[in-house]
A and B are shown apart, each in its own frame.
Chain A
Amino acid sequence: MTTLTTAPLADEASKRSWTRLFGWGLLLAVLAWSWRGAEMDPLALIRDSGNMATFAGDFFPPDFSNWELYLKEMIVTVQIALWSTLLAIVCAIPLGILCAENIVPWWVYQPVRRLMDACRSINEMVFAMLFVVAVGLGPFAGVLALFISTTGVLAKLFAEAVEAIDPGPVEGVRATGASALQEVIFGVVPQVLPLWISYSLYRFESNVRSATVVGMVGAGGVGVILWEAIRGFQFAQTCALLIVIILVVTVIDVLSQRLRKQFI
């Protein structure tokens, strides 16, 4: 009995070490192959350091002469983030529950999950370009673009929270004669609410960051003037814009982190 079990164990161990070695070899091969594909050239940083110093010099001192416009556009950016997140939360609640395998049968959660995967897999910049064509230039296109991708992300996160619940309370509600929807409302939602709030606030933070970029394709907010400044080689203005973005994003991150801590 003992010899029978130890012999295959030793065999197993040596097999595992070979597998591990092969895994590392494969990883190194992929890294080397990608180095050439990505045209990695760290020496360029040293070779062209003179150019870069001149380039960096152009950024300073930052030119804040248009600060009122910058701030106004930055506020629009935050407003885009706010609405896109809100719409996404509203849609992600039912969709997240329909993605949870402990709540619905596979023929519901499989298609809904694939749909959410599609929402997530396409970057918000791509959606922004599409919506600029559909609804015209401006912040609303940005809202729609961020809304779609955020719905995909939040539905997945919400579903994961639902899948981690304690089934006991749900059964407790079921035993009272409640309907399936009532089981979810009274048995599931109270358990996942703190996590849902925390995830939503986190997505709001990320959406403020993303909203600065969607503007670059004409979907409103600070991104539009940032893109114009870069294209016009107005680096002192670019620098001022970047500082405004960093400040606002930091403030929002800190505030939302504080709020999130209340719910965990």
Chain B
Amino acid sequence: MSAVIRVEGLNKTFGRKQALYDLALSVQPGEMVALIGASGSGKSTLLRHLAGLACCDRSDGGSIEVLGRQVQVQGRLNGEVRRLRADIGYIFQQFNLVDRLSVLHNVLLGCLGRMPRWRGTLGRFSSEEKQRAMQALDRVGLAELALQRASTLSGGQQQRVAIARALCQRAEVILADEPIASLDPESARKVMEILADINRRDGKTVVVTLHQVDYAMRYCRRAVALKGGRVHFDGATDSLNPHFLNDLYGADLDASLLLADKARRPRASALALALAKA
């Protein structure tokens, strides 16, 4: 079977700092993959590129294919990317719901990518779409809050609404960017359960970035670890051991601190000298 997500030679540079180096990744249909790594290792950047929310470098930027269709090549988004996104559900760390709209309305926004543009623009959702949205809400256990404003919900509830939005969207691939990083343990567990259920029962492909390795080991069979913008490990979560994790997080953290300090110091003294002269 062909890969659902295929990333080849992805390079991304922010200003003068390169975030992703010649990154390659392939995800098969129905997989649930954890993307782990220290902060700044490039996991969120990679995920944003998959949904075409960010563009890779113009020269030698590589290419991304999702569901057999090109999302971007050499820093240029596919002209049809807005329609492609309908198949790619995206869960954000900060939920990104529209606060002043109702929960139901937020879930209905998931239909926008699949309905005629004029009808979506006027916000005229059909009763079939409303039913689908209610079913999605029911699945995440929030049907009774459908008419409340999104802003009145707790963080964990908001994240479940965001998942309902992706369900209503009927996305084939779900990308979740730190979905539980701002949640309490109980909400985090619920959100991960729902994502795992969507993967198991509906056979959707799920890629989730996680800070907490224990969650990765519990819910995902495969883990991809990034370090400094490169794939550091790609394999079964069973084979992750404390020694490896220490290498992935601890050492990297220290090194980055040291480096940042060293890089800053000469520049600071150069600045001071320039000021003294002026």
Contacts and interface: CB of A to CB of B under 8 A. Distances in A.
Interface string A159-198: 0000000001101111111111110011100110100000
A68 interface: no
A180 B85 CA distance: 13
Interface string B85-109: 1111110101111111100000001
B53 A176 contact: no
Contact of B112 (A5, A8, A177): A177
Nearest to A6: B272
Q: Is the interface of B mostly helix, strand, loop or mixed?
A: helix
Contact of B53 (A1, A171, A190, A193): A171
B51 interface: yes
A253 to B, nearest CB: 27
B33 interface: no
Contacts of B121: 179, 181-182, 185
A49 to B, nearest CB: 58
A190 B100 contact: yes
Given A173-B109, A186-B101, A179 B82 contact: yes
B123 A172 contact: no
A200 to B, nearest CB: 17
Nearest to B101: A190
Contacts of A134: none
B120 interface: yes
Contacts of A174: 53, 82, 85
B96 A168 contact: yes
A176 B117 contact: no
B14 to A, nearest CB: 17
B62 interface: no
A11 interface: yes
A168 B121 CA distance: 20
Q: Of A172, A185, A186, which is in contact with the most chain B CB atoms at under 10 Å from its CB?
A: A172
Contacts of B94: 168
A177 B272 contact: no
B162 interface: yes
A7 interface: yes
Contacts of B53: 171, 174-175
Which of B82, B85, B89 is packed against the most chain A CB atoms within 10 Å? B82
A41 interface: no
A125 B120 CA distance: 43
A262 B94 CA distance: 28
Contacts of A176: 85-86, 109-113, 165, 169
B114 interface: yes
B251 interface: no
| Interface of chain A: mostly helix, strand, loop or mixed | helix
Identify which of A168, A177, A179, A193 gathers the most chain B CB atoms within 10 Å of its CB: A177
B1 interface: no
Interface residues of A, number: 27
B269 A175 contact: no
B96 A172 contact: yes
B273 interface: yes
Nearest to A185: B121
A245 B114 CA distance: 56
A48 interface: no
Given A190-B101, A193-B100, A172 B83 contact: no
B276 to A, nearest CB: 5
Contact of A4 (B95, B114, B269): B269
A35 B273 CA distance: 46
Contacts of B123: 185-186
B98 A172 contact: yes
Q: Which of B83, B111, B275 has the most CB of A within 10 A?
A: B275
Interface in B110-163: 110-114, 117, 120-121, 123, 162
B92 A173 contact: no
A205 B214 CA distance: 60
Given A168-B94, A172-B90, A175-B53, 11 more contacts: A169-B99, A172-B98, A172-B109, A177-B83, A177-B112, A178-B82, A178-B113, A182-B117, A182-B120, A186-B98, A186-B112
Ranked nearest first, the 6 interchain pairs of A and B with the lowest CB-CB distance are A177-B113, A172-B96, A177-B86, A8-B275, A175-B90, A177-B85
14 contacts: A4-B272, A5-B268, A172-B92, A175-B85, A175-B88, A176-B110, A176-B169, A177-B83, A179-B117, A180-B82, A182-B121, A185-B121, A186-B101, A190-B99
Interface of B: 51, 53, 82-90, 92, 94-101, 109-114, 117, 120-121, 123, 162, 165, 169, 268-269, 272-273, 275-276
